[in-house]
């Protein structure tokens, strides 16, 4: 139908493209699909189809992201891309990280974020709009293309960029499905990170693919978590743990708790004990990923020192918790966890 022909390039389904092709042979559709999702080509580059057809696909299914800039850090191993959404000018970012054997991309799921966590630059800047599945997938395709140019395969996708994935669950799930089915990245290599939106976790546990779930915990008691992660007032820790248990039961996948270490706020021995207790209440025990707090313009409190991070990790390990420290990437280009603001002004937090 004509309405379908206005969908963006990576929102378009196989049926949408088939419709454009009309009566043509079936393998044309496979050639186009392969060009888009296996060879990561723009339609005009798909030389297996005729020039006329390339032009038709190109003008019918338009790209949604315009690259504004890219910045490089870690001696070329981390690249932050700043994108402008074609339909209105909001900006989003994605971060591509190269490791020895593989590459990982961190993608945005919303333009901005409504969760208002004070220590996160995206939260400080506020919410603009939901991304479509195609806008999420396009970030992944671009990263895969950039990696391929370095002879590296994009192996992992983490939904940890700007926005709260489970406040846009439907689009995120469509993106997961496309990344899995068309690009061929397995569910084990896809990770959704959430601030703890319980209805979203519940929906996710009914979805067919066993993607990894990461929960941004940051505090293991409600009064502290209320102040760090305001949505905790709606979805308190006990209920959140119940939803995590249900996810574990359904998916048989380990859950990761993310914990940004904030000096003197959530890095005390008491915090370690409370966190260990929560981890042990999940069977098998949750894994903890410690993130030294990255600086953001709107949050005056500084991160735990390197030594303090090590100590906190050791306390957890002594308490029987599997804890690792996340290596920071791209702090100098504001590409690290919590620093993505796409150049927007932020609100200064009172903390």
Do 10 and 141 form a contact (C-beta atoms < 8 A)? yes
Q: Which of 84, 124, 168, 194 binds ligand SAH (CB under 6 A)?
A: 194
Q: How far is the CB of 167 from ligand SAH (least distance, A)?
A: 8
110 binds ligand SAH (CB under 6 A): no
Whether 101 is catalytic is: no
Alpha-carbon distance of 253 to 213, in angstroms, equals: 8
User: Under the criterion CB under 6 A, does residue 81 sit at the interface with ligand SAH?
Assistant: no
Q: Does 191 bind ligand SAH (CB under 6 A)?
A: no
Backbone torsions φ then ψ of 304, nearest 5 degrees: -60, 145
Q: Is 334 a residue that touches ligand SAH (CB under 6 A)?
A: no
In this structure, is the dihedral angle defined by the CA atoms of residues 238, 243, 246 and 251, taken in order, positive or negative?
negative
E-only strand ranges, 188-271: 190-194, 212-216, 255-261
294, 304, 315, 349: which one binds ligand SAH (CB under 6 A) = 294
Q: How far apart are CA 113 and CA 293, in angstroms?
A: 19
- Distance in angstroms (rounded) separating the CA atoms of residues 60 and 25: 19
Contact string 196-235 vs ligand SAH (x = CB under 6 A): --------------------x-------------------
Among the listed residues 106, 120, 244, 337, the single catalytic one is: 337
Pairing of strands 322-325, 287-292: parallel
Note if 117 is an active site residue.
Answer: no
Beta-carbon neighbour count of residue 132 at 10 Å? Answer: 20
Q: Which residue is nearest to ligand SAH (CB)?
A: 338
35 sits near ligand SAH (criterion: CB under 6 A)? no
Q: x/- string (CB under 6 A) for ligand SAH, residues 148-177? A: ------------x---x-------------
Of the candidates 301, 322, 314, which has an alpha carbon nearest to the alpha carbon of residue 257? 322
Catalytic residue among 93, 135, 138, 258: 93
Summarize as ranges the residues that interact with ligand SAH (CB under 6 A). 119-120, 160, 164, 193-195, 216, 258, 260, 291, 293-294, 296, 337-338
């Amino acid at each position: 139908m004509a309405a379908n022909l206005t969908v963006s390039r990576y929102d378009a389904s196989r049926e949408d493209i088939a419709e454009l092709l009309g009566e043509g042979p079936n393998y044309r559709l496979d050639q186009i699909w392969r060009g888009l999702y296996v060879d990561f080509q723009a339609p005009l580059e798909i030389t297996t189809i005729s020039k006329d057809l390339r032009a038709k696909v190109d003008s019918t299914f338009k790209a949604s992201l315009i690259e504004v800039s890219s910045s490089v850090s870690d001696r070329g191993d981390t690249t932050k891309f700043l994108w402008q959404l074609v339909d209105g000018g909001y900006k989003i970012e994605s971060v591509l990280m190269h490791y020895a054997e593989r590459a990982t991309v961190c993608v945005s799921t919303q333009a901005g974020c409504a969760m208002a966590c004070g220590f996160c630059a995206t939260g400080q800047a506020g919410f603009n709009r939901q991304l479509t599945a195609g806008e999420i997938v396009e970030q992944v395709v671009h990263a895969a293309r950039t990696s391929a140019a370095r002879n590296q395969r994009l192996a992992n996708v983490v939904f940890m960029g700007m926005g709260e994935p489970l406040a846009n669950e439907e689009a995120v799930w469509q993106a997961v499905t496309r990344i899995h089915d068309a690009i061929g990245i397995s569910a084990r290599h896809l990770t959704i990170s959430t601030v703890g939106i319980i209805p979203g976790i519940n929906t996710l546990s009914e979805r067919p693919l066993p993607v990894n779930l990461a929960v941004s915990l940051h505090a293991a008691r409600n009064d502290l978590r209320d102040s760090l992660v305001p949505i905790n007032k709606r979805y308190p820790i006990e209920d959140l743990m119940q939803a995590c248990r249900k996810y574990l039961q359904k998916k048989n996948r380990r859950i990761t708790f993310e914990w940004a270490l904030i000096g003197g706020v959530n890095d005390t021995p008491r915090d370690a004990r409370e966190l260990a207790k929560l981890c042990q209440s999940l069977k098998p025990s949750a894994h903890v990923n410690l993130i030294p707090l990255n600086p953001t313009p709107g949050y005056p409190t500084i991160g735990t020192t390197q030594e303090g991070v090590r100590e906190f990790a050791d306390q957890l390990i002594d308490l029987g918790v599997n804890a690792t420290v996340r290596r920071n990437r791209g702090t100098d280009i504001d590409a690290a966890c919590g620093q993505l603001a796409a150049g927007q002004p932020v609100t200064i937090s009172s903390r």
